[in-house]
Amino acid sequence: MIDKIIRFLFYSLFLLTPLLMYKNTSELFEFNKMIFIYLVAVFLFIAWTIKIAREKKFEFKRTLLDIPILIFLISQILSWVFSIDKYTSFFGFYGRFNGGLLSIITYVFLYYAFVNLFDFKKINKLLRASLLSAFLVILWGLPGKFGYDLSCWIFLGELNNNCWVDQFKPSERLFSTLGQPNWLGAFLAINFFIAIYFLLKGKALKFLTKKYILYGGFIILSFIVILFTRSRSSYLGVLLGSIVFLILYLKSFGKLEFKRTIFNKKYLLIVLLFVISIFIFKTGIGKIDSFQSFERLKPSDNSVDNQQIKSNEDINITESFDIRKIVWKGAWQLGLKYPLFGSGVETFAYSYYFVRPQEHNLTSEWDFIYNKAHNEYLNYLATTGFVGITSYLFLIFFVLFIFYKSIVSVTDRNKKILYICLSASYISILTTNFFGFSTTTINFFFYLIPAFLGVNIVKKEKTLKLKKSGSEIYLGVIGGLIGLYFIIFLFRYYAADLYYAKAEKLSKIGDYQSAVQTLDQALKLHKSHVYLNSYALNLANLAVLVSYQNEKANLKEFVDFSLEKINEAISKSPKNVNYLKNKSKIEYLLYQLNTENFTYINNAIESLKKAQEVSPTDPKIPYSLSIFYSILYDSDKDNKYKMLTLSTVERAIELKPDYRDGYFLKAQFLDKFGEKQKAKEALNYILNKINSNDKDVKSYLDTL
């Protein structure tokens, strides 16, 4: 019975995780998947404990990856110890969740649980569960390609694509239940090679049999959907995985078998359908699509892809790879700044600002928060240092080495094909991770695919017998209590996030009182500095609202509590530039309660100066400083503040030469200081260099 439960838990992990999402959590996709992985791990821990208690012995299989895993895990723990934000390093960046120390420990536990508890004879059922999950993901996502997204139907009751923002339109780039096109592409690339295994295993394949239609059809369908994602990293993952597959297949079975299989008309038909798919659906890569020789198959000027390209040019969207190169440069510099253990596991969202290249300000995503380096390897370098990245690469090298040795040594044909296909899947993960970052779904494949080697990964087995009478009862009870504690913790964590997500929605509609009350519930369930930051902002807005309603009784309490909460958030995440900027916002809001008292403005300036130390290339910081200095100038006409006003707005423009708002603010200041000609020059710069059709600028010029 207990073995069936264990198998069920692993089946559910592979079948359900990619499908999970929920509209009422702060993040629809990754958070729900991560919580489910944690829950499965806890239930496996309980089941393992019960199994030990029932059998009165603890059997533990040592594996060939023990030392690489241990070294890697120690590197992550040390990075957490020296982290700039221990909470984030433990739980992961709030909004991504995967990659924190807790998740890594969980994946390592799942690896050992699989090796020790799962019957390798059932591996085919597990892989079929993964293929079924991938098929359901495809079915769920496909209607969105044609404007009928099922997620919108579930979330809003409308069968269209209107529930997604412009940057995420499934009709342009499919993402289904995975959350982003690159994530869907990476997931399907893994299953692409798993399907090839089922196509090749067993007896010689016959044309149009159930097996041929089922697995061949899945391979073609998954390839088409990968095209729909427009994910270049996934294309490359499939390509490199295929090259590795062909090389290993040739080496394993020889030229004769290779030619007999690969050049068989049944397989060539599938390859032909790949080529036809590329002609029909395109890749989204201009250089590749331009090679298509049939004029009638070329996209017309009215095609969705061409419209998207023209739209991108009109609004000056920076090529994604160009942005990646800038972020990678920053990640490398961060690795040099923290060479041993990095800035801390999963702290890239905060530490990137320390070294953020100034050229990032000239991209269309200049004010985006980059919570990852968009390269898994550079992300490990930046956040866990050279110790972390070296141990990570050491682990990968060992996995690839063991795969190769297993392929060479195994004699069973089906197992050999399985290991070859799993190697190809693993290569696809390494490839997509190079141009992006791992997600929950990809990471459990990263850690569990090596475990699929079964006996080939096992080094030796140790058995510890429970000699004392009744010790099995104590073990079962202790294991159950530990498991219960973690289950309660996860439910509290999940409930807290639901409250937090609700509070964010309430805040957006201006219901600050309800937002504060909801955040209070969240903080009672789980202490997160993310909640504290939101709590402080909502309290400050509530204080302003109360002042307008002349309810002076609670005003001081709201003011004091708001400052207390933002300071608490900063104490837990002292290098978080966004919290420092939010503190200045709060202090500015509190200044509005009494515009005769400039204490809060001076405090806001000090907060921004600290933020500037953390993020020296952020143009929004000197932009805001110039506004605060202007307020001080208005109060006493001190020429010092006039100079500071102009110098700080000028600094904002230096950091971002195409800063439209910076030039506009500069013109307003110059106008206020009586320098109208210089104000006109600033406005004309916007029209000549940034946007010739700016109506606000033209209207302002007419008044000068």
The tens digit of pLDDT for each residue in 512-535 reads 999 999 999 999 999 999 999 999
- Please state the rounded mean pLDDT for residues 400-414: 94
Q: Quick count: other Cβ atoms within 10 Å of Cβ 176?
A: 32
Q: Tell me if residue 464 falls in helix, strand or coil.
A: strand
The verdict on residue 53 lying in a domain is yes
pLDDT at 167: 72
Question: What would the two tokens of residue 393 be?
Answer: 């690469």
Judge if 457 and 502 occupy the same domain: no
- The torsion angles phi and psi of 322, rounded to 5 degrees, stand at -65, -40
- Classified as helix, coil or strand, 63 is strand
Amino acid letter, residue 181: P
- pLDDT confidence bin for 595, thresholds 50/70/90: confident
Q: Are residues 398 and 441 in the same domain?
A: yes
pLDDT of residue 306: 44
Neighbour tally for 526: CB within 10 Å = 18
For residue 663, is pLDDT > 60?
Answer: yes
Residue (of 330, 321, 326) closest to 360 by Cα position: 326
Question: How many domains does the structure of the chain reveal?
Answer: 2
Tens digit of pLDDT for each residue in 275-307?
999 999 998 888 787 776 444 444 444 444 444
pLDDT of amino acid 469: 67
> Which stretches within 637-694 are classed as H helix?
639-655, 660-672, 676-685
Is residue 471's pLDDT more than 80?
no
Decide if pLDDT at 312 tops 70: no
What's the rounded mean pLDDT across residues 590-608?
93
**pLDDT in the model for residue 459:** 80
Q: Is the pLDDT of residue 473 over 90?
A: no
483 belongs to a structural domain? no
pLDDT at 314: 46
Quick one: pLDDT at residue 656? Answer: 97
CA 605/CA 274 separation, integer angstroms: 59
Instruction: Let me know if residue 214 belongs to a domain.
Output: yes
* Element spanning 459, H or E: strand 458-465
Measure the CA–CA gap between 536 and 571, rounded to whole angstroms.
14
pLDDT of 204 reads: 66
CATH number of the domain to which 694 belongs:
1.25.40.10
Phi and psi at residue 364, in whole multiples of 5°? -75, -15
Average pLDDT over residues 462-479: 80
Per the CB < 8 A criterion, the answer to whether 350 and 576 are in contact is: yes
Q: Are the CB atoms for 117 and 126 separated by under 8 Å?
A: no
So what's the pLDDT on residue 202? 80
Q: Which domain holds residue 612?
A: 498-703
Give the domain-ending residue among 465, 484, 510: 465
181 part of a folded domain: yes
What residues have CB less than 8 Å from 475, skipping those under 6 apart?
49, 52, 53, 466
Q: E strand or H helix at 560, and its extent?
A: helix 555-572
Distance CA 636, CA 374 (A): 48
Please identify, among 413, 443, 465, the residue that sits at the C-terminal boundary of a domain: 465
pLDDT at 45 over 70: yes
* Separation CA 181–CA 24 (nearest Å): 22
pLDDT at 452 over 80: yes
One domain, residues 410 and 524: no
435 has a pLDDT exceeding 80: yes
Three-class HEC string of 139-181: HHHHHHHCCCCHHHHHHHCCCCCCCCCCCCCCCCCCCCCCCCH
Find the helix or strand (DSSP H, E) in which 36 lies. Answer: helix 30-55
Bigger pLDDT: 597 vs 466:
597
Tell whether 450 and 320 lie within a shared domain.
yes
Is 16 domain-assigned? yes
Q: Is residue 445 assigned to a domain?
A: yes
| 481 falls within a domain | no
Q: Are residues 598 and 449 in the same domain?
A: no
pLDDT band, very low/low/confident/very high, at 657 (cuts 50, 70, 90): very high
Residue 94 lies in a domain: yes
614 pLDDT exceeds 90? yes
Both tokens assigned to 675 = 């320098």
Chain centroid to CA 499:
22
Domain boundary among 465, 487, 522: 465
User: Are the C-beta atoms of residues 126 and 14 closer than 8 Å to each other?
Assistant: yes
How much is the average pLDDT of 71-76? 98
Percent of the chain with pLDDT over 70: 96
DSSP structural state of residue 521 = H
Q: Do 287 and 409 share a domain, yes or no?
A: yes
Could you tell me if 449 and 508 lie in one domain? no
What residues have CB less than 8 Å from 508, skipping those under 6 apart?
A: none
Judgement on whether residues 431 and 540 belong to the same structural domain of the protein: no
How confident is the model at residue 550, as a pLDDT? 72
State the residue for tokens 């903080």: 523
Residue 450 is classified by DSSP as G
Lowest average pLDDT, out of 255-259, 385-389, 630-634, goes to 255-259
Phi first, then psi: give them for residue 240, nearest 5 degrees: -65, -40
Contact predicate 542/558, CB 8 Å = yes
Q: What is the pLDDT of residues 126-135, one digit of tens each?
A: 999 999 999 9
Residues of the chain with pLDDT > 90, as a percent, come to 78
Summarised one tens digit per residue, pLDDT across range 148-199 is 999 999 988 889 998 888 777 898 999 999 999 999 999 999 999 999 999 9
Instruction: Determine the average pLDDT of the residues in 17-35.
Output: 97
Q: Where do we find the tokens 């994602």?
A: 229
Calculate the average pLDDT of the chain. 92
Residues 514 and 459 in one domain: no
Same domain, 617 and 549: yes
355 and 401 share one domain: yes
Same domain, 514 and 448: no
